[in-house]
Amino acid sequence: MRSLNLFLVSLLLSSLASGVGGWCYDSMSPDCGPSTWPRDHPKCAGSGQSPIDILTKEAKPDPKLSDITFKGYIDPDKSLDWTLYNDGHSVQLILNGSITISGGMLPGTYKADHLHFHWGTDSSPGSEHTIDGMQFPMEMHIVHLNQNYHSKQEALKHPDGLAVVGIMFVESDSDAKDYNFIQYLKHVKNHNDKYTIKPFSLENMIPNDLSKSRVYYRYQGSLTTPTCNEAVIWTVYKEPIPLSKDQLNAFPKILHYNESSRIVSNFRSIQKLNGRTVNVFNSGSLLFRLNLLMCVVGIQALLLFN
Ligand SMILES: *[C@@H]1O[C@H](CO)[C@@H](O)[C@H](O)[C@H]1NC(C)=O
Ligand SMILES: *[C@@H]1O[C@H](CO)[C@@H](O)[C@H](O)[C@H]1NC(C)=O
Ligand SMILES: [Zn+2]
C-alpha cells in the first residue's frame, strides 16, 4: 500500500513537471521543452518538420501559384459563437461557421478550425518561421482542415490534411485601430479559461488589400507542436501586420499557464529543410506582366491608328 502511494505520488509529480499535456517550451521547464518532445511524440523527430527559416533568394517562383481565396472572413455568420481558449501553450480563437480558403494550388477547399499565436517576451521576438534569419515579434497561425476528410484526426494522417496560414506581426509606433481581438485576452488569463464571443470581421487579420502586392511562401511541413504530424501545407505571408508595442505585449503580459507563471517564448526553434523546396508567389510580378501586356497592346493600337 505504502509503495503504491509512493508510486502514485511520483506519477503525479512527474506529470506536474512535464507541463500541460506532457510537453512545454523551454521557458516553462527544460525538462519538457522541444528537445524532449520526440520521447513521447516520435513524429517530432521526422525529416519534414516546421517551422523553418525561409531563405528568400532560394525560394523558387512557381507560376502555377495564385492568390489564396479567403471566404467568410470579412462577414462571418453572427448567429454562431466563437470561443477564446487558453490552452496553456497559447491562446486559441476557435472559429465556427463556413470560413474557408481555396486556390493558390491548395488541393481542395479547407475549412478554418481555429487561429492561435506564438510570441516572445516583452523584449524578445517570438515568431516560429524566420525570413532570411530574421525572427518577428509574433506569428499567427490560422489552421484549416481539408474538407475531403471527415475529421481532424483523419486529416492529420494525410500530407494534404491541413492548410495553415502564417502571418507575421511587426512593432509599429501607433496602435493598429480596430484590432478587436486583443481586448478579449483578459477574459482567458488562466489555463483552461474559455470565453464566448460573437463572430467579428477578420479583415485586419488577413492580407486582403488587393491594391498591395502580396508575397507568400509555400512548403510542405508539420504541426509545430506535439504530435508534430507532417500533414501541413504551409502558406507564410511575407508582409507583416503592424501592431503597437502595447498590443504585442498584451500576449506575454496577460496570458498564464499557471497562477504564478506567464506564457512566454512559446515558439519552436527552426527545423532542417532536408531537401524540401520552398516556393514563392508574388502577385506583384503578375501585375507587372499585366501592365506590360497593356503597354504592348497600347503601342500597337497607336501604330495601327496613326
Ligand atoms: C508554475 O509552474 C512553474 C514551472 O514552470 C513552477 O515552478 C511553479 O511552482 C508553478 N506555480 C504554481 C502556482 O503552480
Ligand atoms: C457554433 O455556434 C453554435 C451556435 O451558437 C453553438 O451552439 C456551437 O457550440 C458553436 N460551435 C463551436 C465549435 O463553437
Ligand atoms: Zn502554431
Give pLDDT tens digits for 17-31. 567 778 999 999 999
From the CA of 221, which ligand is nearest? Answer: 3
Task: Report residue 256's pLDDT band, with 50, 70 and 90 as the boundaries.
Answer: very high
- Establish whether the linkage from the previous residue to 51 is cis, with ω within 30° of 0: yes
Quickly state the pLDDT bin for 12 (edges 50, 70, 90).
very low
Out of 25, 110, 149, 257, which one is annotated catalytic? 149
Clarify whether 118 is annotated catalytic.
no
Ligand 1 nearest atom to the CA of residue 261, by list position: 1
Residue 209: partners with Cβ closer than 8 Å, 6 or more residues away: none
CA of 126 to the centre of ligand 3 (A): 11
Q: Which is catalytic among the residues 25, 73, 89, 114?
A: 89
Place of cell 503504491: 4
- Indicate whether residue 94 lines ligand 2 (CB < 6 A): yes
Q: Is the pLDDT of residue 158 over 80?
A: yes
Here the cell at position 261 is 507563471
Q: Do the bridges between strand 241-244 and strand 162-172 make them parallel or antiparallel, or are there none, so unpaired?
A: parallel
- Where would I find the beta strands (DSSP E) of the chain? 53-54, 60-61, 68-71, 82-86, 91-94, 100-103, 110-119, 130-131, 134-135, 138-146, 162-172, 194-197, 215-221, 232-237, 241-244, 279-282
Q: What is the pLDDT of residues 110-149, one digit of tens each?
A: 999 999 999 999 999 999 999 999 999 999 999 999 999 9
Q: Which three cell numbers stand for residue 49?
A: 518538420
DSSP state of 176: P
CB of 83 closer than 6 angstroms to any ligand 2 atom: yes
Annotated active-site residue 184? The verdict is no
Instruction: Report all structural domains of the chain as residue ranges with CATH numbers, in order of start.
Output: 20-298 (3.10.200.10)
- pTM for the structure as a whole: 0.90
Alpha-carbon distance values, 252 to 93, 142, 199, 202 (Å): 17, 20, 24, 22
Model pLDDT for residues 214-252, shown as the tens digit of each residue: 999 999 999 999 999 999 999 999 999 999 999 999 999
